[in-house]
A = this chain, B = another copy of it.
Amino acid sequence: MRDVVEIGMGKTAQRGYHLDDIAIVPSRRTRDFDDVSTAWQLDAYQFKIPCVAHPSDAIMSPTSAAALGQLGGLGTLNVEGLWCRYEDPTKLLESLAALDDDGRTATRRLQDVYAEPIKPELIAERVRSIRDSGVTVAVRVSPQHTLTLAPVILDAGVDILIIQGTIVSAEHVSTIDEPLNLKEFIADLDLPVIAGGCTDYKTALHLMRTGAAGVIVGVGADAWSTTDMVLGIRVPMATAIADAAAARRDYLDETGGRYVHLIADGDVNTSGDIAKALGCGADAVMLGEPLSRCEEAPASGAWWHSAASHPKLPRGSFGMADSALGPLEQVLFGPSDDADGSLNLFGGLRRAMAKCGYRDVKEFQKVGLVLDR
């Protein structure tokens, strides 16, 4: 059973597990690859694959968000990103792609670039551009700017709103500003909201109670993230997802049937990681750096988190541009000619599901796991 460890007299810690600590255990039966479905549906929106893009400018422009949507995933745009700060950020993205530093020079460059104010008029333009492609439109805003930017965003006509910060709680306390009351805010909207990240059962449950359609689990940590070093926060994703899945079950029970989707954001680097995140109970994964390796990536393979450009406390290293592995379609669906799980991400998921005998993602959440580290 789960450990509550006494790390010192009277001070306890829950033991948590990372996706790397676990693996999937095939058993029961096997199934034909072609009999397996990876489909996902959030509210009225249907997706061929359970894939949400991380709203980082490194991977999501209006163009690439549309491309991901057309291939069956959910593209996203950060309304606090470069596309809503600059009329044409193309040159800036090129200059970031050309950076040959992954240290302070790069961080300062990111800070400079993001110091430009957000231009509300650009938000409408970007949203329109994505919608014109015919895909589901999702934009991300931080909790701090939600109240200010919501009118513009809603007027622009998005389908899904993502309210995302490193840590988002249902109850933000401030003696200075009027804080965002998520529950009231969501009640007034008639579009689905995805909110997070969160890292534990209680916060996940409280976020569900705000009326969110989806909850982001995790803080987007990957090899470039430095949240651990800067804030002391490190999220064992297998545990965080499974705990949030327990919150989903309890909330389903308390509401008599409201199913809130869990989107795993962190430590998902390969097709094997996608399978493990879903096997722990996630409904979908949020992909960041893995999508930076496709030809359509706006920053030509460079990678950074939103938090990497924080003006006073950046929390993420800059990943220098690398050559693309292939077009987005190949990254998602293969064929792969790279054996390390970076190509054919959702073909790999599907084959893992087939080897375990499952038909769909919801069933696959029950797959057996082994803990071996």
Contact = CB atoms under 8 A, between A and B. Distances in A.
Contacts of A279: 232
Main SS at interface, chain A: mixed
Interface stretch (A125-133, A149-157, A208-216, A343-351): A343-351
Interface in A108-164: 108, 111
Contacts of A249: 10
A163 to B, nearest CB: 13
A242 B108 contact: no
A116 to B, nearest CB: 17
A175 interface: yes
A232 B30 contact: no
Given A169-B26, A279-B232, A372-B234, A226 B341 contact: yes
Contacts of A170: 29
A94 interface: no
Contact of A23 (B34, B203, B234): B234
Contacts of A371: 3, 5, 7, 13-16
B4 A1 contact: yes
Interface stretch (A63-71, A73-81, A309-317): A309-317
Interface stretch (A52-60, A184-192, A330-338): A330-338
A246 B8 contact: yes
A27 B202 contact: yes
Q: Assembly of this chain: how many copies?
A: 4
Interface residues of A, number: 115
A18 interface: yes
Name the residue among A2, A34, A168, A201 with the largest chain B CB count within 10 angstroms.
A2
Contacts of A280: 7-8, 11
A234 B336 CA distance: 20
Contacts of A313: 334-336, 344, 347-348, 351
Contacts of A198: 26
B30 A169 contact: yes
Nearest to A166: B355
A340 interface: yes
Contact of A203 (B15, B26, B235, B272): B26
A32 B172 CA distance: 8
Name the residue among A175, A179, A280, A314 with the largest chain B CB count within 10 angstroms.
A314
A181 to B, nearest CB: 12
B13 A370 contact: yes
A252 interface: no
Contacts of A15: 370-372
A337 B167 contact: no
A184 to B, nearest CB: 16
B199 A31 contact: no
Contacts of A231: 24, 271-272, 275, 348, 351-352, 355
A44 interface: no
B13 A22 contact: yes
A103 interface: yes
A104 B338 contact: yes
A273 B170 CA distance: 27
Contact of A175 (B6, B32, B344): B32
Contacts of A245: 8-11
Nearest to A111: B337
Given A15-B372, A29-B172, 9 more contacts: A8-B246, A11-B280, A13-B17, A13-B371, A23-B233, A25-B199, A230-B340, A232-B274, A313-B348
